[in-house]
Structure formats: structure tokens, C-alpha cells
Amino acid sequence: MIKNKHILKFYIDFPGEFMAGLHAFNNEIVIEILSGKPGGEPRGFESYIKKCLSEWYDGAGVFTDNEWKKRLEAEQEFLWEGKE
């Protein structure tokens, strides 16, 4: 078992473009850094990878694990507001 492994998770959310024939999709991308944290500035590598994924998945929302969790929490709060 690798003790220093560092994991980065990204979530891709593409709403689709019906008129262009592009279907909506979601994806989860996990990067395992087996030697531990990649070094550099805090969150620098994560920001770089997010930028790369945003370019690759043009038009899609790319979210870090923390951003995705906050987004889901906000959606849940919004849904529950209408039920009170």
C-alpha cells in the first residue's frame, strides 16, 4: 500500500447543445499522485489540471472535488427551501 498517495478529483458537467447534436454528460476524473503531493504552490497543480480539463472539455463545467460538493449542497438547500 502506498502511504503518500495524493488524490485529485474533478467533475465534468456538460449540459449538452441540442441544436448541435451534442448530448449532455457528466464525468468524474481521478488523478492519483503516487509519490505524494506534486509540490509547487498550494493548489497550483490542481488549478493547472483544471484549466487543462476546461480546455479539453470545451463548454463543460469543470469542478474540483470541493467545488462540486459545495454545488451539490447549494442545490440541496435550494430544493429544500421550496418544501418548507
pTM confidence score: 0.78
Per-residue pLDDT of the chain (84 residues; tens, 9 = 90+): 667 889 999 999 998 888 788 888 999 999 999 888 888 887 899 999 999 999 999 889 999 999 999 998 988 888 777 665
Distance CA 66, CA 12 (A): 13
> Measured between alpha carbons, how far is residue 48 from residues 13, 21, 23, 54 in Å?
18, 30, 27, 10
> Measured between alpha carbons, how far is residue 58 from residues 14, 36, 40, 47, 79 in Å?
9, 29, 27, 16, 29
